[in-house]
Amino acid sequence: MSPDKYIIEKTKEAVAALFGAGLPEASFQVQVTRKEFEGDYTLVVFPLLKVSRLSPEATGNAIGEWLKENTEEIAGYNTVKGFLNLSFSNAYWNSLFSSIASDSGFGQLPPTGKTIMVEFSSPNTNKPLHLGHIRNNLLGWSVSRLLEANGHKVMKVNLVNDRGIHICKSMLAWLKLGHGETPETSGKKGDHLVGDYYVAFNNMYRKEVDGLVAGGMSREEAEKNAPSLKEAQDMLFRWENGDEEVVALWKKMNSWVYAGFDKTYADLGISFDRTYYESQTYLLGKALVQKGLDMGIFEREADGSVWCDLTADGLDRKLLLRGDGTSVYITQDLGTAEQRFSEYNLDEHIYVVGNEQNYHFQVLKLILKKLGFAWADNIYHLSYGMVELPEGKMKSREGTVVDADDLLEKMYNTARETSLELGKIDNMDEEGQKDLFRTISLGALKYFIIKVDPKKTMLFDPKESIDFNGNTGPFIQYTHARIKSILRKADERNISYMSAVADVPLSSKEIRLIKLLDIYPGKVAEAGAAYSPAVIANYAYDLAKEFNQYYHDTPVLREEDESLLKYRLRLLSVIAEVLVKAMDILGIRLPERM
């Protein structure tokens, strides 16, 4: 049993024995003792004063004395103000560590039987992925892994927005200006190629608008009537009516984009269990609109459009079907949600989508609830903040968008330069080096993004790139490489430490390390409940830092006492394992050497 739970249980007994009264669970609060005080764990005694009817000090001392007398594990105590600091016996720490070390599934919580779908990434096919998508992808991936560690069955899905006016714009520009250019002939990655034509369209369009305005038309009129926009709209119409030529072009250009996306996803190390395409789902939801009309919760206007009035709930009126009977974004979201919940019998559905869509998801849940779906409550919008640059928001018009592929390449180069400079891997073969540079650069990027609380707007400075020192991914990777290096040396000396669980005296730093290891499963649960991989990231850093401090003044391999030597090596190996597990949740690999 974990020390904090143990203390709570025993304190309950103490309170009953000493004061003859019981208290609710919430009255018992235990925390790790702060460094500046003597002790391992601290009981907050204030909530217990009600029944003790004594001063905080007297209450703490009475409970401390009782615990010391009546348990083997608690060896000492002191009370400072209202805080009872308890010290566990050395034997207790030894046995706690051995139970952690022998648990091969440590940190993996028991199966819950729940199935959770996580939708993330969800790109448009008219432009390449950028920094914002990276945050989305990394969050979606790590939350999925986190929920798996919490014992859930997780299904990762992507919903590709492959249809609509935007892709028609790229297609149109390609027809007019492309001269048959392909990824092969141009040497461009498919998503970038198509993205370039999207930009080209907008340039063409803007010129037309300016021309019309110069000819005396109002800007508003001009923006609606520019010929290229009309053409794009016509193309969308033809697409919706299955025009073979348009559909063939659409398929061709989308296939280029998908090849490009696949490369970026592979570079990021993420994958999906299923990919949905809007071209196949955009008609879903119409039946639900009819159902809502039948139930009387939706209303049809004279022009045929259908609305849901949410003003009574403090929201607005929401359009669900256009006057011409076609559906809008939310219509298909209603439909896909229903389809997914029934097809996979989901217990929960998480959407990893930026916070600019908070309102959308609020409306979505509310309408589903009004339609009578109990599972509407099991939809969770994992809303994350934007990634901003030092000069402010990323704006495609101003060319400040940080491209995902560019960024990955720059990170790779930085990692290579730094590693080669340090010269520790000169004897590694070329493939091994490349793999290492990739691991380090991705580790840096992923950690940098994931360690920040998802809901906060975060700042990313590409010029300064990303640090490799301090609270960073590479610091944790480095720590792991150091531990592995020590363990390799132990192997060379044929020291077998894997089953070393002797009764040895532990230093305070060793106890701190064991304490940290012990709270890992709790951190996984905490992070899972909050859908926040950042908790795990910060935990891994704490553990790595604690190890570095310990290691600096404890020359492990020089220890002459054999049982102590083996014990310490075993401790290091468990630290390395836990680091690997924690970082795996974040999608970050830890190299054996670097």
Partner RNA sequence: GGCCCCAUAGCUUAACUGAAUAGAGCAUUUGACUACGGAUCAAAAGGUUACAGGUUUGAAUCCUGUUGGGGUCACCA
> To which H or E segment does residue 83 belong?
strand 83-88
Q: Which of 549, 561, 562, 563 binds RNA (CB under 7 A)?
A: 549
The single residue among 5, 81, 224, 252 that binds RNA, judged by CB under 7 A, is 81
Q: How far apart are CA 483 and CA 547, in angstroms?
A: 9
Please count the other Cβ atoms lying within 10 Å of the Cβ belonging to residue 388: 16
Closest separation in Å from C-beta 531 to RNA: 12
Our CB check for RNA shows the closer of 81 and 252 to be 81
- What span, in angstroms and rounded, lies between the C-alpha atoms of 120 and 156? 8
Q: Does the footprint of RNA cover residue 419 (CB under 7 A)? A: yes
Between 410 and 593, name the residue whose CB sits nearer to RNA: 593
Q: Taking the alpha carbons of 540, 541, 547, 550 in that order, is the dihedral positive or negative?
A: negative
Ramachandran angles phi, psi of 290, nearest 5°: -60, -40
Q: Which amino acid is at 187?
A: G
**Separation of alpha carbons 547 and 70, rounded Å:** 34
Contact between 201 and RNA (CB under 7 A)?
no
What's the closest the beta carbon of residue 180 comes to RNA, in angstroms? 28
Rounded CA-CA distance 405/129 in Å is: 8
Give the count of beta carbons closer than 10 Å to the beta carbon of residue 52: 18
Stretch of 82-90, 146-154, 172-180, 288-296 contacting RNA, by CB under 7 A: 82-90
**Binding flag, residue 278, RNA (CB under 7 A):** yes
State the residue for tokens 């610091």: 475
Minimum CB separation of residue 593 from RNA in Å reads: 4
Provide the mask over 361-390, with x wherever binding to RNA is found by CB under 7 A and - wherever it is not: ------------------------xx----
Helix (H, G, I), strand (E, B) or coil at 516: helix
Residues 458-497 binding RNA (CB under 7 A) are 458-459, 467-472, 474-475, 478, 481-482, 484-486, 489
Query: Is 578 a residue that touches RNA (CB under 7 A)?
Result: no
As measured in angstroms, the least distance from the Cβ of 561 to RNA is 14
**Cβ neighbour number for residue 180 with a 10 Å cutoff:** 7
Whether 551 and 482 have beta carbons less than 8 Å apart is answered as yes
Please identify, among the stretches 129-137, 170-178, 261-269, 449-457, the one whose residues bind RNA according to the rule CB under 7 A. Answer: 449-457
Residue from 204, 415, 571, 576 in contact with RNA (CB under 7 A): 415
Site for RNA contains 562 (CB under 7 A): no
Task: Output 40 or 73, the one with its CB closest to RNA.
Answer: 40
CA atoms within 13 A on the CB side of 166: 13
Is 93 or 361 the residue whose CB approaches RNA more closely?
Answer: 361
Smallest distance from RNA to CB 187, Å: 29
In the complex, minimum distance from the CB of residue 116 to RNA, in angstroms, rounded to a whole number: 20
Nearer to RNA, 211 or 224 (CB): 224
Among 207, 251, 434, 456, binds RNA (CB under 7 A): 456
Site for RNA in 235-264 (CB under 7 A): none
Strands (E), 274-418: 274-277, 298-300, 306-309, 317-321, 348-354, 379-384, 387-388
Q: For residues 183 and 520, which CB has a smaller minimum distance to RNA in the complex?
A: 520
Angle of CA points 304, 321, 202, to nearest 5° = 115
Rounded to 10 deg, the angle between the 562-585 and 473-492 helix axes is 140
CB 271 within 8 A of CB 265: yes
Q: What is the side-by-side strand order in the sheet with 306-309?
A: 298-300, 306-309, 317-321
CA 101 to chain CA centroid, Å, is 28
For residue 389, the 8-state DSSP code is B
Nearest approach, Cβ of 350 to RNA (angstroms)?
17
In the window 494-523, what residues touch RNA (CB under 7 A)? none
Q: Which residue has the tokens 């020590």?
A: 486
Q: Which residue number, 183 or 482, has a Cβ lying nearer to RNA?
A: 482
Query: CA 140 to CA 128: how far, in whole Å?
Result: 18
- In this chain, which stretch among 182-190, 334-342, 404-412, 555-563 interacts with RNA, using CB under 7 A? 555-563
| 557 belongs to the binding site for RNA (CB under 7 A) | yes
Q: Which of 197, 198, 201, 551 binds RNA (CB under 7 A)?
A: 551
C-alpha 261, offset from chain centre: 20
CB of 411 to RNA, least distance (A): 12
Judged by CB under 7 A, the residue of 219, 422, 498, 499 near RNA is 422
- Report, in Å, the least distance between residue 68 CB and RNA: 17
What sign does the dihedral 41-45-46-51 (CA atoms) show? positive
CB 566 within 8 A of CB 497: yes
Q: Quote the CA–CA distance of 162 and 530 in Å, as a whole number.
A: 32
Helices (H), 102-189: 131-149, 165-177, 183-186
Contact set for RNA, span 157-186 (CB under 7 A): 161, 164-165
Q: Which is nearer to RNA, 183 or 336 (CB)?
A: 336
Interaction pattern, residues 119-158, with RNA; x per rule: CB under 7 A: -----x----------------------------------
Q: Are the C-beta atoms of residues 278 and 161 closer than 8 Å to each other? A: yes
Comparing CB distances to RNA, the nearer of 183 and 379 is 379
Torsion of CA 233, 237, 238, 239, to 10 degrees: 100
Count of residues engaged in binding RNA, rule: CB under 7 A: 89
Q: Does 451 bind RNA (CB under 7 A)?
A: yes
Residue range at the interface with RNA (CB under 7 A); choices 28-36, 97-105, 139-147, 510-518? 28-36
Residues of span 32-51 touching RNA by CB under 7 A: 33-34, 36-37, 42, 44, 46-47
The answer to whether the CB of 552 falls within 8 A of the CB of 482 is: no
The answer to whether the beta carbons of residues 126 and 167 sit under 8 Å apart is yes
Rule CB under 7 A: choose which of 11, 144, 538, 573 binds RNA.
538
Tell me which residues in 299-338 interact with RNA (CB under 7 A).
301, 303, 305, 314, 316, 319, 322-324, 328-330
